[in-house]
Copies of this chain bind each other. A is one copy, B any other.
């Protein structure tokens, strides 16, 4: 149950290797998030992971490959938006609350890894593409389908679906950025965000709207 696809390590040696790789990746994420990819040195990471410099290269081809590894880990975490998929069933406003809740929770959880990767995403075309595909586009497609269906059912006002979806996603991405920037109200009010968001995008600010 939950073992998913990869066969886990069986021998003691294999388990040790896997643990070590994880330790290295976590150390890398921590150091990158703290100092940035370029300021971080392999030695920093090695020390935090408590291995020798050279050991890192038994697991990763080069420094950049650590970044790619972190991206892959993020992708793994993203694998199952199970709750989100479930939420696709219910009431629309409810969906938004749940969806926002799920996403924001995920953001909170993986923030360090995201913070490690994000600056380089803006700089490296390969990373950018990968990030976009796995972090943005997959969700876009899902949301577009959902929203289109709801429009056709008359549960949602007729809107420009693709752009509206982008706006919704922008809120997620933007929130993450504002959090990283250290915005205080967002920090302290994080748990209220889903409700506020749902109100904003479902009910609208117009006081004449239903709600």
Q: Which residues of A contact B (CB under 8 A)?
A: 35-39, 92-93, 115, 118-124, 128-129, 131-132, 136-137, 140, 154-160, 162-164, 166-175, 177-178, 180-183, 185-186, 189, 192-193, 196-197, 199-211
Contact = CB atoms under 8 A, between A and B. Distances in A.
A202 B199 contact: no
18 contacts: A35-B123, A37-B123, A39-B123, A119-B122, A136-B178, A136-B183, A155-B207, A156-B206, A159-B205, A163-B193, A166-B186, A167-B193, A174-B175, A201-B205, A204-B206, A204-B211, A206-B210, A206-B211
A137 B178 CA distance: 10
A18 to B, nearest CB: 21
Contacts of A119: 118-120, 122-123
Given A93-B206, A163-B196, 10 more contacts: A37-B38, A37-B123, A159-B200, A170-B178, A171-B171, A173-B177, A200-B201, A202-B205, A204-B211, A208-B209
